[in-house]
Amino acid sequence: MINYILVGLASIGILETIYLLSKRLRKQEPACIIGDACSIVLGSKYSKTLGIHNDILGLVFYIAILALVLIETQLLIPLAIIGSLSSLYFTYIQFFKIKSWCFWCLMSALNTWLILAVITLL
């Protein structure tokens, strides 16, 4: 049952990051469901980590989670911890540095924290 939940959460993350990636590549602003600061956050100097766009890193993270769930490995826990800490950092950046909130970023952070919570139930 828990694996089904993880597959679902990873799939949601994959779809979300593909959406953000496609909007960025098309130079379109994503729909900001709550508020209007998505373009501020996604266009900030913090939108890349080590020169790689965060949407790409998120996509790789969610694909890795999905793959690790399917092969049932113990690597899920450290990856989920890294993802959760990264999400915590990016949430901090939104609040204290950019002073704007991105709906998609917050939903991704929540999704990542849920993944960690579910994994700790294994």
Mean pLDDT of the chain: 94
User: Rounded distance, CA 121 to CA 115, Å?
Assistant: 10
Per-residue model confidence as pLDDT tens digits over 27-46: 999 998 887 778 899 999 99
Can you point out the beta strands (E) in 10-119?
Answer: 48-49, 52-53
Domains of the chain: 2-120 (1.20.1440.130)
The single residue listed with the structure tokens 């694909």 is 63
What pLDDT, on the 0 to 100 scale, is given for residue 122?
A: 67
Is 30 in contact with 23 (CB distance < 8 Å)?
Answer: yes
| DSSP bridge pairs for 53 | 48
Q: In 3D, which of 7, 97, 106, 5 has the Cα closest to residue 44? A: 97
**Percent above pLDDT 70 for the chain:** 98
Tokens at 112, concatenated: 């990542």
